[in-house]
Amino acid sequence: MSSLDLVVLRHGDTFEPGAPVTWVGRREDPPLARRGRAQAETFGRTLAAAGWAPERVLVSALERSRRHGALVCEAAPFRAIQPEIEPRLDEIDYGPWGGLTSAEIEARGDGPALALWSDEALWPAAFAESEGDVRARVQGLAHELAAAAATRPAGSGTQRVLLVSSNGVMRYLLDLVPGELERRRAERTFKVATGRHGRLAFDGARWHLAAWNLPPESPPRERSSDTLTGPKATGSKTTGPKANGSKTTGPKATGSKTTGPKATGPEN
């Protein structure tokens, strides 16, 4: 039975220095900023140096993710791969929060809900879609990819897939590993800063997390012995968006306690 090697990448920065930082959801679609484009190119070169080439690259339908994925492919040896648009990777619809700064969200009386979402990934009532729907679309895609990898001919080896999405939906992939999202919610390490990435694997029976929130200069980590544990993954719960432009220190592989600061600010 073939396995799946999944690298999940958050698009790069969308705000130029000095610009107001707003919450950018499914209905807002600013282009990548200069730093965001540089982050994509850096990660492409990182993958090239590491010899990690995907068979497929799936990107959300939003311009910031499509452009990020295209720049990664151009900078790496897999230039010939055409990124595939996958709407299930689109960011959460933030409803009335979309396009607002955090201060503006607080001014409309949603300060407590904003804090709970940012710090603990507790779903706000203001969002325009349900947490269950977001979880279902993101994890449904992951399970489809795992099922496709499992039916490949014997000897075809591990299938490598790169996903380019946003912080809000990416944390739902953590919940493929039982207890992982809840652990990271408690530690406040569930976010992925702009341009950063994580790595999950499906071995035919279970999902495993190898790394989360690694900078574009760091190659995707291989699975280590302390990540190959835990019961078979089933449908799980999860929550929350991301912090834009926030700098965080990449956490250690699953099973180790992370020490990097949490990402802060609006998510997109």
Q: What is the pLDDT of residues 162-184, one digit of tens each?
A: 999 999 999 999 999 999 999 99
Burial class (CB in 10 A: 0-12, 13-18, 19+), 53: middle
Confidence of residue 154 (pLDDT cuts 50, 70, 90): confident
pLDDT band with cut points at 50, 70 and 90 for residue 234: very low
245 domain residue, yes or no: no
- Domain of 27: which CATH number? 3.40.50.1240
Q: Is residue 214 part of a domain?
A: no
Domain count, the chain: 1
Please report whether residue 115 resides in a domain.
yes
Domain assignment present for 167: no
List the strands of the sheet with 84-85, edge to edge.
84-85, 56-59, 159-165, 4-10, 197-202, 207-214
66 occurs within a structural domain: yes
- CB atoms closer than 10 angstroms to residue 141: 19
Domain of 39, in residue numbers = 4-161+179-203+223-227
Ranking 13-27, 41-55, 68-82 by mean pLDDT, the lowest is: 68-82
| Mean pLDDT for all residues in the chain | 86
Q: What is the pTM of this model?
A: 0.84
Average pLDDT value for residue range 188-204? 97
CA dihedral 20, 25, 30, 31 (to 10 degrees): 120
The b-or-e profile of 169-196 (16+ CB within 10 A means b, else e) is bbbbbbbbbbebbbbbbeeebbbbbbbb
Q: Is the predicted pLDDT of residue 42 greater than 50, yes or no?
A: yes
Rounded Cα distance, 12 and 20, in Å: 16
